[in-house]
Structure 1
Amino acid sequence: MSIAEVNAAPTRLKGRFSAMVVCWILGLGSLVSWNSMLTIGDYYYKLFPEYHPARVLTLVYQPFAFGTIATLSYYESRIDTRRRNITGYTLFFLSTLLLVILDLATSGKGGIGSYIGVCILVAAFGVADALVQGGMVGDLSLMSPEFIQSFLAGLAASGALTSALRLMTKAAFQKSDNGLRKGAMLFLAISTFLEFLCIFLYANFFPKLPIVKHYRSNAASEGSTTVSADLAAAGIQTQTEDDAKTLERLSNKQLFFQNIDYMLGIFLIYVLTLSIFPGFLYENTGSHQLGSWYPLVLIAMYNVWDLISRYIPLVKCLKLESRKGLMVSILSRFLLIPAFYFTAKYGDQGWMIMLISFLGLTNGYLTVCVLTVAPKGYKGPEQNALGNLLVVCLLGGIFAGVALDWLWLIGNDKF
């Protein structure tokens, strides 16, 4: 079948709901392993109490994620998106499986050797994250905004799911021997299965959906070469690479400066979020009535509201599309920094739960608004490139936020 036949086919809109479900699952798989690591932070604090695992592991993760996505974005137009995404999900699968094997091999004991092993696998998570997030956001940017929204909702769902499971496993294993370890192993086993499911869905099911073939065929007709392998997997003939080169497109530099406010906005969203979540919640919120449940409840509330807020833009009248409005909203979030500081110092746990819920609500809502509005008005190859550039800024914001998170330890006797 040729591209023209796919574009003219009356069935091109079939499979929209299936595509949204698969995008949601692929989003879930993009962060479920890493969110499992964050959610079982109490287990790693027990194994490595002197090494600040919530902060150190996040700091290890981010340079590899940011460095990889920056490199991939530079060469984005030459990279096979299908191979990139499958490689990313496979790396997630293998790294998560190796975390289970490492824990079994060391019998759940701490020590610097085990900690270094965990850090190496966390670095692999960072590389996988860059492969998948940039690849998927770029690929979905040339499709329907609903697909990006579903993918981003799946990202948030990974946090909500792991938080819910963590609370259940803590309650179930609280009185048993090695309860923390059993819960952690259950988490990692579930994550391993979900990563394998993502490999199967992306490689065999997603590219064959009629609506996906339609969008990718349109992108190929506009000069995109990154979709060629996925179209070939669906049995569609594409134009040659030489033909694609004759079609003009904006450079990455031009795209960046045309969308500088979106780039800065997504960067600032995650600078703020990661300067608070999760390190501040584990080490700077003090002791309260909830005891060891307190940081888990805070993380769960953040994840739940982050997930809920990513569906709000589906209601058209509630979606913020104004460029000025988005920037004002993003900058206003920085008022949360003094709010968290004074609440941790003087407030009760109820106020902290309310604040962390608002942090999650604004994080998810603004992320979806930026990533669905920015690609409008561009051709397929440019949308793919812009999606990759936005993920570069997103991961750059996370990296900066993780580094700034250490400032909360100034004057803290744990530093």
Structure 2
Amino acid sequence: MYNEKKSPPADRGQAVAIIIFVLGLGTLLPWNFFMTASQYFNQRLTVPNNTVNGTSGGPTKDYNYDSWMALLSQLPLLLFTLLNSFLYQWVGVRLRVAFSLIAILLLFSITAALVQVPMEPDTFFSVTMATIWFINMFSAVLQGSLFGVAGLFPARYSTLFMSGQGLAGIFAALAMLLSILSNAEKSSAAMGYFITPCVATLGTLVCYLLLPNLEFARFYMNRSQSVSEELSGELISSTVTNNDKALKANVKFIPPKEDQERSSVLAVFKKIWLMALCVTCVFAVTLSVFPVITVRVQTVYKDSASWDKVFTCVCCFIVFNALDLVGRATPSLVQRPSKKSLLFPVAVVSRLVFIPLLMVCNVQNSKRILFSHDLAFVIIMALFAFSNGYLATLCMAYAPQLVRTKDCETAGSLMSFFLVLGLALGASFSFLLGQLINMADAHRVAAQGRKAVPFRGHITGGMHPGKKVVVVGVVDSRPDRFYVALTRGCGTNEPPPDVALELCVRFRDRQVLRRACVSGSWGDVDRAVPFFPFIREQPFKIEIHCEHSRFRVFVDGQKLFDFSHRLTSLSDVDTLWIKGSLTITKLA
């Protein structure tokens, strides 16, 4: 046989292993960076469209960017991953991979260039949605093809490929953390996001082009062709010999053909169906709660503004991606349960327990909380992430071992399709879980009753350093403006003469104005803000933190502005005023 005549060469300097790892990194890194720029896209879509005469067109339009992004990323990913399972029969893998990487590079280059190009929101939305569709279309072909390539190598290399994909999530999570901690201008941050995956994609293309030049890679990538040629030679020789014998015995001989050709897609699926269903289940469970449920978990240390600001990024995204990476790397050391063990599908199905466990953590406004402490959430997230990476990697490594060498690429492409199918099913189920939580919130709000606007309420103990006022509400469908003010005394129909801070959100020209009034005299108006965070018919959360020398104001966890104290007697600031185009759902 072939393996007896020639043993595989050594992977010198682990060069092939490094390239396979980089290829895994390159398949997911671009899209992860695209997702972390969600705030940039939402910000650009909140700019009012201009009318024919060039004036503002009124209230901003709600584009539901995040929902459309989820839909238009999963749909082409699913469709073209399935297509790739059949495409390999007509289009070579080198052409598929190279063309997909070049297309992704061009799409991200265009996206980076558009950062500095002013566009109408309607046009920008259409361009962005088209970009999302095509990026995921080419990513589907790329990922399926590279899974097939990784399947040609020993199982350790499939593990390395999956580990590279896990590291892409780490990079994206760290980018998100740096964005939160920095005060960089939003467009500059977006430009950095989009240039980084351009460089990464170019590096991935170079690595893939280098791969066939390495002896170790050539051995495995050409092995199926060599095996086929050798089998054909052996069959010809065997046919001649057997035909001679048949002529002597006057018996008809038909040479075997089943080993000369690749198996059909259906035949390969019949061998790997269990692994395919397992990888689907793993990712369906993961995407059903991550991130739609996990991002709603809050810290119990709400008084710590700095920790509250980074809690979701650290405990949700960084913990998940770090432990997922560890899980993906572990199969290179140990692979238990084995591919033939009944415990393997049992372990996969047992991950369903994480869905209720995460839903009873400290989810915002939930009444069913069993694990309120931050540490409990981190432990559950760590186990959830590790099992995701470990079991998914085992599935992808086991599948090629269940088929013949020449069918490994087909098996890898099929597994890629079922992986994406799991993502799509999980994303769909996440909408259901999200709606359940939203319905629970709606019932809670209805039971408690919404605060009437205009609102005037007492601040117990007045303001002092360390005190925080929280206003949670929803912008009206046709907003003009709304006010939030901290005053000394309750006044009558209007705020009293002493106003420590008046915040005016004006939608017509997208302004956030701040001023103070001392003894009936209004001071100068502060206008500068890094972004305009309010969208019609969308919820918001304003946090006013009182510090020794200033008020620091956050909206939806992002710092909006600082306002130096004009009134020196903070303890006398004891009234909260709210009025205008909003509905109040919670005060704290």
TM bucket, shorter chain:
0.7 to 0.9
* Equivalent residue, structure 2, for 1:234: none
CA distance in 1, matches of 2:164, 2:326: 11
Contact 2:163 2:329 in 1 (8 A): yes
CA distance in 2, matches of 1:246, 1:315: 34
Distance apart, 1:216 and its partner CA: 1.7
Taking only aligned residues, the RMSD between alpha carbons, in angstroms, comes to: 2.7
Distance apart, 1:340 and its partner CA: 1.5
Look up the SS of the partner of 1:13 in the other structure.
coil
CA distance in 2, matches of 1:182, 1:318: 46
**Correspondence for 1:92 among 91, 101, 104:** 104
* Equivalent residue, structure 2, for 1:274: 287
Q: Which amino acid aligns with 1:25?
A: V
Equivalent pairs, count: 384
Distance apart, 1:286 and its partner CA: 5.2
Contact 1:61 1:123 in 2 (8 A): yes
Deviations 1:233-287 (A, max 9, x none): xxxxxxxxxxx998133321122122221111111111111122233344x3357
* Equivalent residue, structure 2, for 1:294: 311
Give the alignment of 1:193-272 within 5 angstroms: 193-203=199-209, 205-223=210-228, 247-272=260-285
* Equivalent residue, structure 2, for 1:102: 114
Residue 59 (str. 1) matches residue 74 (str. 2): no
CA distance in 1, matches of 2:27, 2:124: 25
In the superposition, relative to structure 1, how do residues 98 and 277 fare at CA in structure 2: closer, same or farther (>3 Å)?
Answer: farther
Contact 1:220 1:380 in 2 (8 A): no
CA distance in 2, matches of 1:219, 1:317: 26
- Larger Rg, first or second structure (1 or 2): 2
Percent identity of paired positions between Structure 1 and Structure 2 = 17
* Equivalent residue, structure 2, for 1:330: 348
Task: Name which of structure 1's ranges 353-362 and 88-97 shifts more when overlaid on structure 2.
Answer: 353-362
CA distance in 2, matches of 1:286, 1:219: 53
Distance apart, 1:154 and its partner CA: 0.6
In the superposition, relative to structure 1, how do residues 223 and 118 fare at CA in structure 2: closer, same or farther (>3 Å)?
Answer: farther
Distance apart, 1:32 and its partner CA: 0.5
Give the alignment of 1:16-415 within 5 angstroms: 17-48=14-45, 50-106=62-118, 111-171=121-181, 173-174=182-183, 176=184, 178=185, 180-203=186-209, 205-223=210-228, 247-282=260-295, 284-285=296-297, 289=302, 290-297=307-314, 298-316=316-334, 318=336, 320-343=338-361, 344=363, 345=366, 346=369, 347-410=372-435, 411=439
CA distance in 2, matches of 1:338, 1:130: 31
Deviations 1:167-208 (A, max 9, x none): 23432x23x4x2x443332122111101011111212x1111
Contact 1:170 1:183 in 2 (8 A): no
CA distance in 2, matches of 1:300, 1:51: 29
Residue 12 (str. 1) matches residue 28 (str. 2): no
Contact 2:268 2:403 in 1 (8 A): no
In the superposition, relative to structure 1, how do residues 249 and 9 fare at CA in structure 2: closer, same or farther (>3 Å)?
Answer: closer
Gaps of 5+ in 1: 225-243
In the superposition, relative to structure 1, how do residues 45 and 116 fare at CA in structure 2: closer, same or farther (>3 Å)?
Answer: same
CA distance in 1, matches of 2:125, 2:379: 34
In the superposition, relative to structure 1, how do residues 334 and 16 fare at CA in structure 2: closer, same or farther (>3 Å)?
Answer: farther
| Higher RCO structure (Cα 8 Å, ≥6 apart) | 1
CA distance in 2, matches of 1:76, 1:245: 20
* Equivalent residue, structure 2, for 1:236: none
Look up the SS of the partner of 1:79 in the other structure.
coil
CA distance in 1, matches of 2:270, 2:259: 24
In the superposition, relative to structure 1, how do residues 125 and 245 fare at CA in structure 2: closer, same or farther (>3 Å)?
Answer: farther
Distance apart, 1:116 and its partner CA: 2.6
Q: Which amino acid aligns with 1:277?
A: F
Q: Which amino acid aligns with 1:100?
A: A
Task: Name which of structure 1's ranges 145-154 and 43-52 shifts more when overlaid on structure 2.
Answer: 43-52
Look up the SS of the partner of 1:77 in the other structure.
coil
TM-score (norm 2): 0.61
Contact 1:57 1:122 in 2 (8 A): yes
Contact 2:159 2:328 in 1 (8 A): yes
Distance apart, 1:113 and its partner CA: 2.9
Contact 1:14 1:211 in 2 (8 A): yes
Deviations 1:324-378 (A, max 9, x none): 2221111111111111211123224433333332222111101111111121143
Task: Name which of structure 1's ranges 301-310 and 249-258 shifts more when overlaid on structure 2.
Answer: 249-258
Deviations 1:28-65 (A, max 9, x none): 11010111122333444544574454443122111101
Contact 1:39 1:296 in 2 (8 A): no
Task: Name which of structure 1's ranges 313-322 and 97-106 shifts more when overlaid on structure 2.
Answer: 313-322
CA distance in 2, matches of 1:84, 1:262: 25
Higher strand share: 2
Distance apart, 1:323 and its partner CA: 4.2
In the superposition, relative to structure 1, how do residues 190 and 377 fare at CA in structure 2: closer, same or farther (>3 Å)?
Answer: same
CA distance in 1, matches of 2:84, 2:160: 23
Task: Name which of structure 1's ranges 403-412 and 298-307 shifts more when overlaid on structure 2.
Answer: 403-412
Gaps of 5+ in 2: 47-61, 230-256, 443-537, 540-588
Deviations 1:296-336 (A, max 9, x none): 22111111111111111111365653442221111111111
Distance apart, 1:133 and its partner CA: 1.1
Q: Which amino acid aligns with 1:196?
A: L
Distance apart, 1:139 and its partner CA: 1.4
Contact 2:153 2:220 in 1 (8 A): yes
Q: Which amino acid aligns with 1:101?
A: A
Q: Which amino acid aligns with 1:144?
A: P
TM-score (norm 1): 0.84
Look up the SS of the partner of 2:293 in the other structure.
helix
In the superposition, relative to structure 1, how do residues 303 and 14 fare at CA in structure 2: closer, same or farther (>3 Å)?
Answer: closer
